[in-house]
Chain A
Amino acid sequence: MRKVLSVGRKEMRQIARDSRTLMILVFIPAFFLLIYGYALSFDLRNIALAVDDRDRSVESRSLIAAFVNSGYFRLVADVRSSDDLTRLMDRGEARIVLVLPAGLSRDLAAGRTVPVQLLLDGDNANAATTVMNYAQTIVLSESARYRLEAGVPGSLPIVAEPRVWYNPRLESALFLVPGLMGYIIMITAVVSTALSIVREKERGTMEQVRMAPLGALSFVLGKTVPYFVISFVSALGILLVAMLMFGVPMHGSWPLLLGTIALFLVGALGLGLLISSVADSQQVAFQLALLASFLPTLMLSGFIFPIASMPPFLQGVTYVVPARYFLVALRGIVLKGVGLEVIGPQLVALSLYSSVVLLLASARLRRQWS
């Protein structure tokens, strides 16, 4: 234990000497959460709408007005020719074009059902699906409204009444902010430790450490301690920003939340140390750190892409991404207020992960030393 602490003290002194790095590690994460939490959203507002109105009647204008008044669409262009249309779509200036056929008002009056074309730019499939659902709903409800005014009970026999739990207004901030917290904490932790061992190898100071009466495990643990303190402080900053600035609620228990964060940090720092013990040069360590944390945490953790929709073999891969467990636990604690009985498995997985990476890192070092 004393040995672990003295390695920690030495490392702390080294970190304190490089003030740029220390500043980045402590303050930047919370600051970034502030920016990204504010900037990012999946809520589509102001969808660029172009209209090709070939009827130019009271009815066609009222349908267009229904789109604009819904608050989701912003009228950007009035299409006059098919060249216009192609140009708009090619440049991505309109996400959706509403095509109202000539004779729309005449057909309506004659009691016919008028086809209304919705032309979507499908390049961003996710956004396009949402836009499609909005647009269809508006057209159908306008249709029902028209029938009602014509004196026919236009209501459909089954009515869907959607209700959302935990996040009633479906604000993507409430689900993105926990995801961003996991992402930023993960990157900060891995990046901070990834160079810590390999740097000593590259500079030759590793030889001195080897001569010291010190086991590989206590060396690795000693390296973890100062970074753990730093990243825990910065994680608290992140938590503060999430709750004060973004109104992330706290429905669960505090000790459980802090314990989960601590476990996740140990795992992430351990991954950095493992990378550092494997790599021979700082450049390799940097590459490995990015490859292991940067994109996988973003894409394989369930932060953005639902794990349930991935192919089975890839779902298997996600089990080695620690952020996966952290996100489930974090969302469970703060948004749903669940306790140990629900997120127990996640915490067990995180502890396993942390022990495995730390042990692997020290085993690797021991082999290099002997």
Chain B
Amino acid sequence: MRRIRILIWKELIELRQDPRLFGIVILAPIIQLFALAYAATTDVRNVPIVVADADRSASSRALIARFDASPSFTVSGVVSAANDVDPFLEQSEAWLAIAIPPGYHQRLVSGQPAPVQLLADGSDANSAGVALGYATALIGGYAQELAAPRAAAGSVAVGGYEPRVRVWFNPRLESRDFMIPGIVALLLLVVTTNLSSMGIVREKEVGTLEQLNVTPLTRSQLIVGKLVPYALIGLVDVVLVLTIAVSWFEVPLRGSVWLLFGTTLIYLLTTLGLGLFVSTISATQQQAMMTTTFFFLMPMVLLSGFVFPIENMPAAIQPITYLIPLRYFLVILRSIFLKGVGLETLWPQILALAAWGVGILSLAIMRSSKTSA
């Protein structure tokens, strides 16, 4: 125990000697959280649209006014012929073009259905899809309003359905509440894996690992002694970013704070263990950096469900995601924040995460004894 304490002390001294690293490790997650949390919104607001109004009537102007008044859209231009919208879409000045054909007013008045064309820029398929959905819904709602007095006049009672939407957990559908817990998890991953992945290989490169090898320190003591100081830094980061998430961005924290910290600690074990493992299998810091970035960080970001839902992935890829610890932690974090559920629901994820952490740490210990024996 005393040996581990001394090693921890040595690591902390080394960290203090590199003040820039210390500053980056503490400050960078905060700055990034601020920038990324504001960026992470897929909510459609102020989508620029262009209208080709070939009808130029009171009715067509009423429809345009509808779009302009909606917070989702901004009318950035009105042209008179359908072909004139091309440059707007080509230069991405508008995501969506609405073409009102001549005779729109005439058809509306005479009770015929009046078609309105919606042209979307599909090169950003995600935003285009969402914007199209909103535009279709807006026109549908407007049409129903126009239809209501007519139906009353006809006074034929015919049944129908009326959809009533209720959203649980995130009633205003704020994508930020969903993204911020994810960003927190990612920032912790980036900072801690990076710290620990260089931890042992640096000593190898500088040549001080030999000195550590001749001390009576065992392999597992070496790993644990490396782990603890990084875990301490990680914990400081955890407290900082979680505080900002809750107090500044007002992400609702509906579950238990203790469960949140407990599971985050387990998560830190997996990220640090991962870094240490990389450190034991790399010969140089460059190799450690490449391995961490390409084989761990990138798959974690893209395949964990952080932005791309796992259920959208092809069946062949989905099993791979079970190998990614971030996958479990994201479910845990988002559920504790937004759904307020506890151990009784989350135990499978927590168990998987813990198994991962113990597994990778044991691997790191085994590898380190092999490489320097």
Chain A positions near chain B (C-beta within 8 angstroms): 18, 20-21, 24-25, 28, 32, 35-36, 38-48, 63, 89-92, 107-130, 132-133, 135-137, 139-140, 142-144, 146-147, 150, 152, 154-168, 170-172, 174-176, 187, 191, 194-195, 199, 202, 279-284, 286-291, 294-296, 298-300, 302, 304-306, 308-311, 314, 317, 328, 331, 335-336, 338, 342
Q: How far is the CB of A323 from chain B (nearest CB, A)?
A: 13
Are A168 and B190 neighbours in the complex by a CB distance under 8 Å?
Answer: no
Q: How far is the CA of A286 from the CA of B198 in the complex (A)?
A: 9
User: Could you count the A-B residue pairs with CB atoms below 8 Å apart for me: how many are there?
Assistant: 375
A-B contact pairs, 16 of them (CB 8 A): A21-B286, A21-B290, A42-B126, A89-B168, A90-B335, A130-B130, A132-B167, A133-B136, A158-B146, A172-B125, A187-B294, A280-B18, A282-B286, A299-B36, A300-B35, A302-B124
Q: How far is the CA of A120 from the CA of B190 in the complex (A)?
A: 33
- A122 B36 Cβ-Cβ under 8 A: no
B132: nearest chain-A partner, CB-CB: A162
Contact A317 B123 (CB under 8 A): no
The reply to whether B18 and A283 form a contact with Cβ atoms under 8 Å apart is yes
The residue among B125, B137, B284, B311 with the most chain A CB atoms within 10 A of its own CB is B125
Among residues of A, the one whose C-beta sits closest to the C-beta of B25 is A287
Contacts A18-B286, A120-B166 given; does A163 touch B120 at CB 8 Å: yes
With beta carbons under 8 angstroms apart, the residue of B133, B136, B165 that contacts A118 is: B165
CB distance from A108 to the nearest CB of B (A): 4
Contact mask for chain B residues 173-193; partner A; CB cutoff 8 A; 1 contact, 0 none: 111011000010011001100
Q: How close is A341's CB to chain B, nearest CB, in angstroms?
A: 10
Q: Which of A39, A42, A111, A195 has the most CB of B within 10 A?
A: A39
Instruction: Tell me whether B216 is interfacial, beta carbon within 8 Å.
Output: no
Q: How many residues of B contact A (CB 8 A)?
A: 120
Q: Which residues of A contact B312 (CB under 8 A)?
A: 40-45
Flag if B45 contacts A309 (CB, 8 Å): yes
- Complex formed: what's the CA distance from A282 to B42 in Å? 36
Q: Given the known A-B contacts A163-B118, A174-B122, are A158 and B142 also in contact in the complex, defined by CB atoms under 8 Å?
A: yes
Query: Which residues of B are at the interface with A, using a C-beta cutoff of 8 A?
Result: 18, 20-21, 24-25, 28, 32, 35-36, 38-48, 63, 89-92, 108, 111, 113-130, 132-137, 139-140, 142-144, 146-147, 150, 156-171, 173-175, 177-178, 183, 186-187, 190-191, 194-195, 197-198, 202, 205, 284-287, 289-291, 293-294, 297-298, 301-303, 307-309, 311-314, 317, 331, 334-335, 338-339, 341, 345
Minimum CB–CB distance from A196 to chain B (whole Å) comes to 9
Whether A167 contacts B123 by the Cβ 8 Å rule is yes
Given contacts A165-B89, A311-B38, contact A147 B309 (CB under 8 A): no
Cα–Cα, bound, A140→B144 (Å): 11
Question: Are A305 and B123 touching (Cβ within 8 A)?
Answer: no
Bound CA span A290–B314, Å: 29
**Contact residue among B111, B126, B173, B183 (Cβ-Cβ distance under 8 Å from A125):** B173
Interface centre among A36, A125, A132, A166 (most CB of B within 10 A): A125
* Cross-chain contact B123 with A175 (CB below 8 angstroms): yes
Smallest CB-CB separation from B309: which chain A residue?
Answer: A127
Partner of B128, one of A40, A170, A291: A170
Q: Known interface pairs A122-B168, A130-B129. Does A136 touch B163 (Cβ–Cβ under 8 Å)?
A: yes
Report the separation of the CA atoms of residues A139 and B165 in the bound assembly, to the nearest whole angstrom. Answer: 11
Q: How far is the CA of A111 from the CA of B294 in the complex (A)?
A: 61
In the complex, the 10 A-B pairs of residues with the closest C-beta atoms, listed nearest first? A167-B122, A111-B157, A122-B170, A133-B133, A108-B159, A125-B175, A156-B143, A122-B167, A143-B160, A164-B122
Q: Which residue of A lies closest to B321 (CB)?
A: A39
Structural contact, A140 and B133, CB atoms closer than 8 A? no
Which residues of the other chain, A, contact B40 by a CB distance below 8 angstroms?
299, 305
User: In the complex, what distance in Å separates the CA atom of A282 from the CA atom of B146?
Assistant: 67
Q: Which chain B positions have C-beta within 8 A of A35?
A: 317
- Cβ A156 vs Cβ B144 within 8 A: yes
Contact between chains at B91 and A342 (CB < 8 Å)? yes
Residues of A within 8 A of B291 (CB): 24
Q: Please measure, in the bound complex, the distance between the C-alpha atom of A48 and the C-alpha atom of B309, giving whole angstroms.
A: 13
Contact B162 A113 (CB under 8 A): yes
- Given contacts A107-B159, A140-B163, A161-B116, 13 further A-B pairs with CB under 8 A are A89-B169, A90-B335, A111-B159, A121-B169, A124-B175, A127-B309, A130-B133, A140-B140, A156-B144, A172-B125, A290-B190, A298-B301, A317-B35
Q: Is the CB of A175 within 8 A of B21?
A: no
Contacts of B202 in A (CB 8 A): 282-283
Most chain-B CB neighbours within 10 Å: which of A46, A124, A139, A282? A124
* Chain A residue contacts of B122, Cβ below 8 A: 164-168, 170, 174-175
In whole angstroms, what is the CA distance A230 to B182 when docked?
34
Minimum CB–CB distance for A312 against chain B, Å: 10
Which B residues touch A162, using CB under 8 A? 118, 120, 132, 135-136
The answer to whether B198 touches A290, judged by C-beta atoms less than 8 angstroms apart, is no
Residues of B with C-beta under 8 A to A111:
157-159
Cα of A157 to Cα of B112 in the assembled complex, Å: 7
- Residue from B135, B195, B302 in contact with A160 in the complex, judged by beta carbons closer than 8 Å: B135
User: Do A114 and B113 have beta carbons less than 8 Å apart?
Assistant: no
Among A122, A161, A342, the residue within 8 A (CB) of B115 is A161
A residues less than 8 Å from B195 (CB atoms):
283
A147 touches B158 (CB 8 A): yes
Contacts A157-B143, A166-B123 given: A113-B160 contact, CB under 8 Å?
Answer: yes
Measured CA separation A75–B27 after assembly (Å): 47
Contacts of A176 in B (CB 8 A): 125
Measured in the bound complex, the distance between the Cα atoms of B160 and A143 in whole Å is 5
Contacting residue for A120 out of B119, B165, B298, B338, CB 8 A: B165
| The residue from A63, A92, A108 contacting B335, defined by CB atoms under 8 A apart | A92
Which B residues touch A170, using CB under 8 A? 120, 122, 125, 128-129, 132
Picked from A114, A124, A283, the residue with its CB within 8 Å of the CB of B178 is A124
Across the interface, do A124 and B38 meet the contact criterion of CB distance under 8 Å?
Answer: no
In the complex, chain B residues whose CB is within 8 Å of the CB of A164: 119-122, 128, 132
Residues in B neighbouring A36, C-beta threshold 8 A: 302-303
Please tell me which one of the listed residues A107, A175, A199 contacts residue B124 in the complex, with CB atoms under 8 A apart. A175
Contact B43 A125 (CB under 8 A): yes
A128 contacts which of B111, B134, B173, B303 (Cβ < 8 Å)? B173
Kindly identify which residue among B63, B162, B303 contacts A115, using a CB–CB cutoff of 8 Å: B162
Cβ–Cβ < 8 Å partners of A295 in chain B: 32, 36, 183, 186-187, 190
Residues of B within 8 A of A161 (CB): 115-118
User: Chain B contacts of A302 at CB under 8 A?
Assistant: 124
Candidate in A122, A187, A279 with the most chain B CB atoms within 10 angstroms: A122
CB distance from A318 to the nearest CB of B (A): 8
One of A135, A288, A294 near B163 (C-beta < 8 A): A135
Residue of chain A at shortest CB distance from B157: A111
